[in-house]
Amino acid sequence: MQPFRKQRIKALNYQFDWGLVLTGQYGQWILDGVKVTLKISAVSIGFTMILGTLIAVMRMSKFKPFEWFSFAFVEFFRNTPLLIQIFFWYFGSYSILPDAWNTWLYDHDFEFAAGVISLTFYTSAFIAEEIRAGINSIPKNQLEASRATGLSFLQAYRFVILPQAFRIIIPPLISQSLNLIKNSSLVMTIGVMDLTYMARQIQSYSFHGFEAFTVATVIYLVISLIVSFSINMYNKHYLIQIKY
């Protein structure tokens, strides 16, 4: 019991040192972690929007193989844990990717690539369903009218249906983008040196985990608020332009 009592007394006498986390080497670690978090989030969001849109259009097509594949894609990636998917792409990607791809990935930042792939596939399954809901809210006669003017199926979706659908689903797209930013913290488990990874390193080296993770929490909150505010302002401005 004596060692336990000493640990409790030491915990009660804990001295907060915010300057230790925000300045010097540890402050630079936090800054480097923020850069990696923003980079992997931005890259993943870009790929997610492209893949999610493609999967949604495949779900709406009448070509059965596309419809079945997109349905299986959404159900598989949406109903399996993200952490499992991260481990799958990190430890098992060499089994399903071509050797040339594996060689290129290992020569570059393999951990970063595995994180981007897992975040993209996982989030695109949710994005695809949001886009499909937006497409279903568009009157069907618009697609028929577009086809009647001579547009192909893909052209009708590109120029008529999808622009309207994206306007409708801006709020859920914001929500999914913010979820991706927060979920990016899981890539620390495969060695991506993001903000969460750096906070964990500071805790290991300095034993000031409370300060490190508090700073990380505030930074994640600020990033989320900035993204949400920026997209909402763009959305509001765009609506004003359309109105007039």
Contacts of 66 (CB under 8 A, 6+ apart): 58, 59
Q: Where are the beta strands (DSSP E) in 139-191?
A: none
Residues in the chain: 244
- Domain-embedded: residue 10: no
Poorest-confidence range of 1-10, 147-156, 194-203? 1-10
- Domain-embedded: residue 9: no
- Domain-embedded: residue 206: yes
- Domain-embedded: residue 5: no
The radius of gyration of the chain from alpha carbons, rounded to an integer in Å, stands at 23
- Domain-embedded: residue 200: yes
Query: Residues 149-176, buried b or exposed e (16+ Cβ, 10 A)?
Result: eebebeebbeebbbeebbebbbebbbeb
Q: CA 160 to CA 235: how far, in whole Å?
A: 19
pLDDT tens figures, 20-45: 888 889 999 999 999 999 999 999 99
- DSSP type of residue 159: I
Q: Please report where in the chains the tokens 């279903």 appear, as a residue.
A: 136
**C-alpha torsion sign, points 228, 229, 233, 239:** positive
- Domain-embedded: residue 29: yes
Tell me the two tokens of residue 213.
Answer: 């993770």
CB 75 within 8 A of CB 154: no
CATH of the domain at 43: 1.10.3720.10
Q: CA 79 to CA 133: how far, in whole Å?
A: 18
pLDDT tens figures, 98-116: 666 667 666 668 899 999 9
More reliable by pLDDT, 201 or 237:
201
Q: CA 147 to CA 170: how far, in whole Å?
A: 26
- Domain-embedded: residue 217: yes
What count of other Cβ atoms lies within 10 Å of the Cβ of residue 108? Answer: 9
Q: What is the mean pLDDT of residues 128-146?
A: 88
Which structural domain range is residue 75 located in? 18-243
Q: Domain count of the chain?
A: 1
- Domain-embedded: residue 11: no
Q: What is the mean pLDDT of residues 2-8?
A: 50
